[in-house]
Amino acid sequence: MILLEKKQLQQQNEAFLNEMRKQDPHFFERLKVGQRPEMFILACSDSRVSPSVITQMPLGQLFIHRNIANQVNKTDESFTASLYYALKHLKVKDVLILGHTSCGGVKAAAEGNQEAELIPWLQSVRQSIEGVECTDLCENGSRQNVKTQMERLKKHPVYEQYGDGVGVLGAIFHVESGEFEWSN
């Protein structure tokens, strides 16, 4: 099984390389010079919502951090480092919080999951969706979750220090239809 997966990845990479060479023979020469993405995306780790895949954005355009249920948490060193690097060094113009329908993290928080390894993380998610009824795809929970993260981001010390003029956007990706829905 593992061998098959490795082989699949290898083959897919070769197909990608061939396609890129056909489209633009000098693409990788430019890529090695460095990255200048204009957008930082915080998305969920869910395998169905890869930001680069669902937006068809080329390599070098999106700086991405992912965690379960796309949480902004100022005690999370990994997120804080990504945010700092995006704002201070890459000088991105916008930060997009990208949630999605049928989010396992949002549902687990709403349902009161008690697995020890998940409890600390889900506590932050639970606080984000307080008072929201979660049914089926839990769209309302995902919408509320994105709005809460947008507010948390604006109050994050790194954003307060380095985010002057940087836009804070929110959206959810509908896994049931493939559509994007912007937050107000």
Q: In the numeric block, which tokens belong to residue 66?
A: 């992912």
Q: Exactly one of 41, 44, 83, 146 binds Zn ion (CB under 5 A); which one?
A: 44
Under the binding rule (CB under 5 A), the answer on residue 43 touching Zn ion is: no
Site residue total, Zn ion (CB under 5 A)? 4
The stretch among 44-52, 89-97, 111-119, 168-176 that binds Zn ion (CB under 5 A) is 44-52
Q: What DSSP string runs through 98-131?
A: EEETT-HHHHHHHTT---TTTHHHHHHHHHHTTT
Under the binding rule (CB under 5 A), the answer on residue 150 touching Zn ion is: no
Sign, CA dihedral 150-97-70-38, equals negative
- Give the integer Cα–Cα distance in Å for 166 and 64: 16
Under the binding rule (CB under 5 A), the answer on residue 139 touching Zn ion is: no
Active-site position among 21, 26, 48, 136: 48
Quote the least distance from Cβ 178 to Zn ion, whole Å. 16
Active-site position among 21, 24, 36, 46: 46
Quote the least distance from Cβ 104 to Zn ion, whole Å. 6
- Rounded to the nearest 10 degrees, the angle between the axes of helix 119-128 and helix 139-155 is 90
Active-site position among 65, 100, 126, 152: 100
The stretch among 21-29, 73-81, 101-109, 119-127 that binds Zn ion (CB under 5 A) is 101-109
Residue among 137, 148, 58 nearest 100 (CA): 137
| Residue 138 known to be catalytic | no
CB burial of residue 99 (10 Å; 0-12, 13-18, 19+)? buried
Give residues in contact with Zn ion (CB under 5 A).
44, 46, 103, 105
